[in-house]
Amino acid sequence: MVNFQTDFDDDMFDEGERDPRDELIDMITSEMETARKRMVEIRDQIETMQNSVEREQNRYSGIAAELRNLKDNLDTVPREDIRDRYDEALDARFRLATMRGQLEKFEANYQILEQNQQLFARSLDILQGHSSIGGPGGTPVTPIDVVGIIRAQEEERQRLARQMHDGPAQSLTNFILQAEICQRLFDRNPDRAAEELENLKSNASKTFQKVRDFIFDLRPMMLDDLGVAPTVRRYVESFREKNDIAASVEIINEDRRLENYREVMVFRSIQDILSMARDYAAPTELSIKLDMSGDIIKANIEDDGRGFDASALADEDYEDTGGDARIQALTHLRDRLELVGGTLSVHSTEGDGSVIRVEIPAE
């Protein structure tokens, strides 16, 4: 990891050479301005999408009322009118679900930018508020790892891009193909068209649920409303149902709240570790213990799956060795934890399960 120190003596620089601290200040200020502009854009998009969702909801409600009337008068309504109203209802329902998904995505992106702004602001305060990095009485302050911050952001963007491409984007492509098949079949083979429409409806419902799961993974709304403990409990329940893995969770001091970014870090750490265990260890049982009671928030995740050589985590050149993907993922997680003063410890041997411990300061 590369750390940027800012306790430089002015005499160390030749005339005309910029202090690296000033360059950091300029870079962070620029990033804050870019994020601010993006937040304004997203806020406008949220307002526009909220209006669109409201209009589409009203449209769908009106079509649904018409369908109820048609149902009561099937014997007198031309078949073509029934088909047109059914198509409109299907289209409105799909558009409404898509719009709601986009709205939730905009809101999640806005919250991420807001958190980044808070982090940049705190970093800027440290850089501008001290002629040399240090706290009261000369107590050293942890240097700001700007490279680590940027890398963590880019890794998250890449992960989300992959998930969007492999999930909702692929499903939407399939919907278009199914809709075209239904369109061609409606006049030639109404029964087959109805069957295809039913398949389309079923697939749309499944995809909508996947999108909701994707949004929850991206940024669970209940994290802001209820806190990290209920969110972790809900996530573990969902993880158990989806993956057929016996996952249990124990939480101490469940009602405690932390600063927003610390709650996000606790949740993301547990989420990432569970995903790693599922993808790389093939466990049958997982146990999670989250202790929210002390000055240090502690999370222990234990699995009975395939272990690995944890000593590889000490290898600073892990990216150049072509090593285990799980080692790389854990190293990235460790680097992110260090940005908030946290630690990651791993106990594992090949073929004998793993115990991963995360610690994050509560204050």
Residue-level pLDDT, tens digit, the chain, 363 residues? 334 344 444 444 455 566 777 778 888 888 888 888 888 888 888 888 888 888 888 887 787 777 777 766 666 767 777 777 777 777 777 777 788 877 777 887 787 888 778 888 877 777 776 433 344 444 444 444 555 555 556 666 666 666 666 666 677 777 777 777 777 777 778 888 788 888 888 888 777 777 777 676 666 777 877 888 998 998 899 888 888 899 999 999 888 888 888 888 899 899 889 988 988 888 999 999 999 998 999 999 999 988 887 777 766 544 444 456 788 888 888 888 888 889 999 998 777 789 999 999 988
| Superfamily of chain region 222-361 | Histidine kinase-like ATPase, C-terminal domain (3.30.565.10)
315 phi-psi bin (left φ>0, alpha ψ -120 to 50, beta other): beta
CATH class of 145-219: mainly alpha
Cα(312)–Cα(231) distance, integer angstroms: 32
179 and 204 Cβ atoms separated by less than 8 Å:
no
